[in-house]
C-alpha cells in the first residue's frame, strides 16, 4: 500500500547539464510568458477569481494536486 503523501508534492526538476539546462530554462520562461499573455488577452482571470493549477510532467516530474 501507499504511504499517505501531502496534498501537493514539491515539483522536482530533471537533472540536466550545460546546454540542456539552458534550453530547459528558456522553455520555462517562454511558457510562463505565453501563459501570462493568454490570460491577459482573453480575460481568463478577474478580480476575486480563485485559481487552481495542476501540471503533469509524466515520468520526469511528479506533482500531485
Q: What are the sequence ranges of the domains in the chain?
A: 17-65
- Work out the pLDDT band at 9, boundaries 50, 70, 90: low
Q: What per-residue confidence (pLDDT) applies to 16?
A: 83
Q: Kindly report the pTM of this predicted structure.
A: 0.53
Q: What is the mean pLDDT of the chain?
A: 78
Using DSSP, state whether 50 is helix, strand or coil.
coil
Q: What are 56's three cell numbers?
A: 503533469
Mean pLDDT of 42-51: 94
For the chain, the C-alpha Rg in angstroms (whole number) is 16
Amino acid at each position: 500500500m501507499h504511504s499517505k503523501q501531502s496534498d501537493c508534492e514539491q515539483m522536482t526538476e530533471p537533472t540536466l547539464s550545460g546546454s540542456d539546462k539552458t534550453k530547459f530554462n528558456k522553455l520555462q520562461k517562454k511558457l510562463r510568458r505565453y501563459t501570462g499573455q493568454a490570460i491577459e488577452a482573453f480575460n481568463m482571470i478577474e478580480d476575486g477569481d480563485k485559481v487552481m493549477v495542476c501540471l503533469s510532467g509524466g515520468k520526469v516530474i511528479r506533482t500531485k494536486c
